[in-house]
């Protein structure tokens, strides 16, 4: 009887050990399966993000090539036509003893148009942009636009931005697009662009005194979509803080290494 009881106890112990080992194996297998599934999901997300980033980069590069080609066409074709017209006006002016005021005004207007066109074609040239930093490029664009007397752009900025050329170019296009949207839709008299440094980022506040617009209705517009795509390429953020009859305020945030010799939150102007 005792032998039988011992056998039963032994059988129970062995069965329990086997059950425990099997349960432990199943537990580790399930855990390994979950970890692999999680790792696969993370890799899938990373691949999707990488593909999305590459697709956006390709789209931006295509746009840059199109813009550069447009600038070249403006300079080579339209610029040459305007220069020829100016030359013909000059010949006509010299052939007349007392040229009328309208002819002199026309020649002066053509000269201004040629200068504006040259400045515009430069701002569309990728090669020209790569030779200068964002601050210089944006200042040149602002001087060109302010000279039209249509808008007055106020620009507060640091002396230098520690950003690579490609990122500066993308940021320049974002601000260029924002300015053009304001000129087209806002009926604004003033634009204010402020560069604000925090500890780990660059914040850009873009503000105008125009009539505002419905941000929800314009969310899928080409201009805003271009801005969002470029912001995504920079791993940045953009927020339309307000848009009303008192104007529009846009906040752009970019992760950056802070400039040397600068600490904490500050504003450089």
Residues 218-247 have pLDDT tens digits of 666 777 888 888 888 888 999 887 666 778
Q: How many angstroms separate the first and last alpha carbons of the chain?
A: 98
How confident is the model over 118-140, as a mean pLDDT?
72
Q: Are residues 35 and 117 in the same domain?
A: yes
Choosing from 103, 131, 159, the residue where a domain stops is 131
Say yes or no: 39 and 64 in one domain.
Answer: yes
Q: Quickly state the pLDDT bin for 269 (edges 50, 70, 90).
A: very low
Quote the CA–CA distance of 107 and 104 in Å, as a whole number: 5
As a whole number of angstroms, the distance between CA 135 and CA 143 comes to: 12
* Sign of the dihedral defined by the CA atoms of residues 208, 213, 219, 225, in that order: negative
Number of domains in the chain: 2
Q: pLDDT category, 216, cuts 50, 70, 90?
A: low
Q: Are residues 120 and 12 in the same domain?
A: yes
Residue 105 tokens read as 């005004």
Residue 158 sits in which domain range? 139-269
pLDDT score of 152 more than 90: yes
pTM of the model: 0.57
CA 229, CA 61: separation in Å to the nearest integer?
A: 12
Are the CB atoms for 106 and 93 separated by under 8 Å?
Answer: no
Domain boundary pick from 94, 112, 131:
131
Residues 2 and 127 in one domain: yes
User: Would you report the helix, strand and coil content of the chain in percent, each value rounded to 5?
Assistant: 60, 15, 25
263 and 147: one domain?
yes
What percentage of the chain exceeds 90 in pLDDT?
A: 12
State the pLDDT at residue 268: 33
Residues constituting the chain: 269
- Please state, in angstroms and rounded to a whole number, the distance separating the CA atoms of residues 52 and 65: 20
Question: Mean pLDDT across the stretch 165-189?
Answer: 86
pLDDT at 4: 58
Q: What CA–CA distances, in Å, run from 132 to 24, 147, 174, 231, 261?
A: 65, 21, 17, 21, 23
Q: Which of residues 131, 160, 175 is at a domain's end? A: 131
Query: Does one domain contain both 126 and 43?
Result: yes
Can you tell me the mean pLDDT for 65-81?
70
Q: What six digits make up the tokens of 241?
A: 């803080």
Residues 125 and 144 in one domain: no
């Amino acid at each position: 009887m005792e032998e039988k009881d011992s056998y039963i106890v032994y059988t129970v112990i062995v069965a329990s050990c086997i059950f425990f080992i099997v349960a432990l194996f199943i537990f580790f297998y399930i855990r390994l399966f979950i970890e692999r599934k999680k790792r696969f999901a993370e890799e899938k997300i990373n691949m999707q993000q990488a593909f999305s980033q590459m697709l956006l980069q390709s789209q931006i590069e295509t746009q840059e090539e199109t813009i550069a080609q447009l600038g070249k066409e403006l300079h080579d074709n339209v610029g040459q036509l305007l220069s020829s017209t100016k030359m013909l006006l000059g010949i006509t002016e010299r052939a007349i003893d007392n040229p009328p005021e309208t002819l002199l005004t026309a020649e002066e207007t053509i000269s201004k148009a040629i200068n504006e066109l040259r400045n515009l074609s430069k701002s569309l040239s990728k090669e020209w942009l790569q030779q200068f930093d964002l601050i210089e490029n944006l200042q040149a664009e602002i001087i060109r636009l302010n000279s039209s007397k249509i808008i007055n752009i106020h620009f507060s900025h640091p002396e230098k931005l520690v950003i690579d050329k490609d990122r500066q170019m993308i940021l320049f296009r974002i601000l260029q697009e924002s300015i053009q949207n304001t000129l087209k839709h806002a009926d604004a008299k003033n634009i204010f662009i402020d560069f604000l440094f925090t500890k780990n980022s660059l914040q850009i506040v873009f503000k105008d005194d125009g009539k505002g617009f419905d941000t929800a209705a314009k969310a899928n517009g080409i201009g805003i979509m271009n801005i969002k795509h470029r912001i995504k390429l920079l791993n940045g953020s953009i927020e339309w803080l307000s848009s009303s009859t008192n104007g529009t305020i846009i906040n752009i945030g970019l992760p950056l290494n802070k400039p040397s010799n600068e600490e904490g939150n500050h504003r450089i102007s």
